[in-house]
Amino acid sequence: MSTTARSTRGRKSVDLRAAGAEFWRHPSPWMISAMLVAALVCRLVVGDWQPSDAVTPLVMLAAFPFVEWTIHVCILHWRPKRVAGMTLDSLLARSHREHHADPRDVPLIFIPWQTLVWLIPVLTALALFAFPRTGLALTFLTVLGAIGLVYEWTHYLIHSDYRPKSRIYHAIWLNHRQHHYKNEHYWFTVTTSGTADRILHTYPDVKQVPTSPTAKNLHAGAGHGA
């Protein structure tokens, strides 16, 4: 029996309604939803629809697996470093290490609200500054909010007791659980399976990968200066 199969053995499955009820008890889905609704309402008020408003969502969806992979590898799996007597270690990285230590601790599944408090305004300001049209910036923010909400829901659902009922979701579910229960050095995408990981060479044959002793204790033995 595989490590992933053993990790789910003996649990009582829940349905989507029960999973959804738990999902909405946490702050990050509400914060991201507020951003999404605000951006969408403003986008509809501003108008000024152009072809770039159709192209931008497509580009964002194509890029997201690679953005997700990069954030997971470079930010969430950040190793604390000592620089000039100070330890560089973000809340996101600390929270993610705790998440690996206990993947079933529900609050740790979500993006910390303390991060969203500053991240949402910063992303909003950057979008309004970077895009040539206010309407296009709001299109970007609307799509970003939708992607963020899908990410939070998918990540939460994978770690919940809801069992896959479709081939597509089963592949996504298995991909992320292998990251947690098999080897933390592979399978970095969360909302897709075999996309960015294949291209970036972190999607090996699971039968050829040893079970990592540090999947629940990231960077154990590596030291903080690594």
Provide the strand spans (E) within 86-213: 86-88
Extents of the domains making up the chain: 17-28+51-112+149-208
Look at residue 121 and tell me whether its pLDDT is greater than 70: yes
- The more confidently predicted of residues 81 and 150 is 150
CB 23 within 8 A of CB 156: yes
Asked if 182 and 209 touch (Cβ cutoff 8 Å), the reply is yes
Per the structure block, which two tokens stand in for 83?
């620089």
Q: Is the pLDDT of residue 5 over 70?
A: no
Range of lowest pLDDT (24-38, 82-96, 118-132, 175-189): 82-96
Joined tokens for residue 76: 């969430």
In the block, tokens 């702050």 appear at 27
Q: What is the reported pLDDT for 1?
A: 45
In which element (H, E) is residue 83 found? strand 81-83
Mean predicted confidence (pLDDT) in 128-149:
97
Which range, of 49-63, 78-92, 146-160, 178-192, averages the lowest pLDDT? 78-92
The model carries a pTM of 0.90
Please state the rounded mean pLDDT for residues 207-223.
85
* Average pLDDT of span 182-210: 95
Q: Comparing C-alpha atoms, which of 83, 110, 125, 90 is closest to residue 225?
A: 83
3-state secondary structure of 13: coil
Q: What per-residue confidence (pLDDT) applies to 156? A: 98
Report the pLDDT averaged over residues 159-186.
95
Give me the pLDDT at residue 221, please.
59
Identify the bridge partners of residue 81 per DSSP, sorted by sequence position. Answer: 88
Please, what's the b/e burial string for 148-187 (b: 16 or more CB within 10 A of its CB; e: otherwise)?
Answer: bbebbbbbbbbbbebeeeeeebeebbbbbbbbbbbbbebb
Bridge-partner residues for 43, per DSSP? none
Express as a percent the part of the chain with pLDDT over 90.
84
Closest to 150 in 3D by CA, of 185, 179, 183, 192: 192
When computed from its CA atoms, the radius of gyration of the chain, rounded to whole angstroms, is: 19
Cα-to-chain-centroid distance, residue 203:
17
Model pLDDT, residue 226? 32
Asked if 68 and 150 count as a contact pair (C-beta separation under 8 A), the reply is no
- Counting Cα atoms < 13 Å in the Cβ hemisphere of 84 gives 0
pLDDT in tens, 21-70: 999 999 999 999 999 999 999 999 999 999 999 999 999 999 999 999 99
By the 10 Å C-beta count (0-12 exposed, 13-18 middle, 19+ buried), 86 is classed as exposed
Which among 219, 192, 21, 220 is positioned nearest to 106, based on CA atoms? 21
